[in-house]
Chain A
Amino acid sequence: MSDTNLLEKLKTIVEPYVQNKEAFSTISEETDFINDLKINSANLIDVALDVEDEFDIMIENDDMDKMLTVKSSLEVIEQKLAEK
């Protein structure tokens, strides 16, 4: 799966939980879920669970701790997909 394809899928997953729609319109790898998109920590867990369903992967506690930005989330997803 190409990087842009992954990013598009992640954007679709994240969108329902975004409080700051303006920051979402300019989303990039550097975007921080909590500080930029204003997603609360409880909904961050829903993002992780939706990522699990979409990519058929298992997110562990360590992965969850990392998934705070677009970039680190894509890294976790790519790593999990490579391990499959």
Chain B
Amino acid sequence: MCNKAIELKNITYFYPNSTSPALENINLSIDYGEFVAIAGASGGGKSTFARIVTGLIPHIYGGTLNGEVCVDGINVVEKDIRSIIGRVGIVLQIPENQIVNLVVEEEITFPLENLLFDVQTILKRIEEVLSSLKIEHLRNRATNSLSGGEIQKVVLASILAYRPRILILDEPLAHLDPYSVKELLEILHNLNKTYGITIVVIEHRLSELIKYISRLIVLDKHIIADGKPRDVLAIIADRKFSRGIEIPSISRLFKMLGVESMPLSINESIDIFRKLLSNNNGWYSNALIDRVSRVKQSGKEPIISINDLWYVYPDSGRIALKGINMDVYRGEFIAIVGANGSGKTTLVKHLNGILKPSRGRVKVFGRDTLSSSVAELARYVGIVFQNPLHQFFKETVLEEVMFSAKNMGVSNAEEKALAILKYFNLSHLVNRSPYEISVGEQRRLAIASILVYDPEVVVLDEATAGIDFSLKMELLEILIDLIKRGKTIILNTHDIEFLSYAPLDRIIVLSDGRILAQGPPNEILYNDMLLARARVAPPQIPMLIKLVDLDRYIKPLNEIELYTMLSRM
């Protein structure tokens, strides 16, 4: 018996038919009422941990589990999975996959009805969770019509209804836009403080999360670090992209500056930063950095021009795009930002003619998309969609790349395919199945299978969703290299921290199907009013600079830029 919320003793686990352990020698105990984040690289065993705590391992997954697992006083391994039901709740990576019913209210009652609660209690619980999550207005909505953030809250409500003492969330922030992230974290914070629910968040995006947690654990098959967020951060910030964890820009900055105690949030950092500045009065006048702006617009024809584009969904009649005007010039690096549902994906689907304008005109390399086929336009504009699994169907990685090459009539397809796989560092995997390789490799393969036929413009739709920080940086390096080779790149994303590292020429802000503004990053990312209207939060460094009133002098986008500016003084 144990009196901890979660206690793992000497846990080593092998998935069935696997010779290397997913977790090795884990000793961990989490007290009731803690708010813990478990971070680590993709494939480091974070999800495995969640499955062990919920009893899915070994009861559903099988495999070999050595050691002792005790959750809320129950020995999970010895007892069957039923003994743990009602004690632990889990929100999976893609919450919409765990919705059973069609109406929010019915979904919330699902576990209560299974567990034979009486009607009076159920009715009381519905009211309770609806009001504590502030989703009364969703009560009678169809679950298939909800946004990503809303779905997550409904799933959470359905779990909270049976009042588990422990709540686990597996990468809950990956697919949320910045505003929804804040909303969700506030909710979790409240649940933890008000009801004392033990919360374990498995996540590598720490920038927002770190302010709320009481403890940070870094997992990579073993426990790498475990302790107060500040201390753990100090340990892992030493190595550059440590374990794929996204360390807040603020913390990175102060680590670079050699400040002893690392601030975790912007508010904390203001004072430290001010103090630092007062020591070096007047430095910023000569620190003005000249951003290398590669102006390409002047006197050149746009390669893509969109004129008063409107798009109405044929089924629901919803207007997705409302009068979009935009030009793209050769060699530009563009980001389209906006909250979930702002029309980003719908917009890029017009660039290769998958969608045709309801009104207005899209011209791609001089061709009107209305009168050109997708295959013809795809030669110029290659789009990589969000989910790589939506395109894999061949037996090997090589065939997957060859498939696009052949479709596009590339001569000596195999040679080109091998070359592009080498460029993406996938040569050792040519004969593997695209389903066997890791998430990061799948993402690269998806891009490789577009680049193989050498399109002028490469469009990436939410390319960073669900991949860890080191994979993001790896992706960025590839993109920068492509820009150097003269390609035009359009990034569709709400991952604003990622954007702050990219050498963009232009950011286009989309909200509710309209372009709110477009301009260079140091203009857009410093316009917090604008970003707020688009439900996007600015990156940390611009926020800090604005708060200390320095944005008249310098406009760095990330900690590396700011650090170079500071070191020039």
Do they bind each other?
no
Residues of B within 8 A of A (CB): none
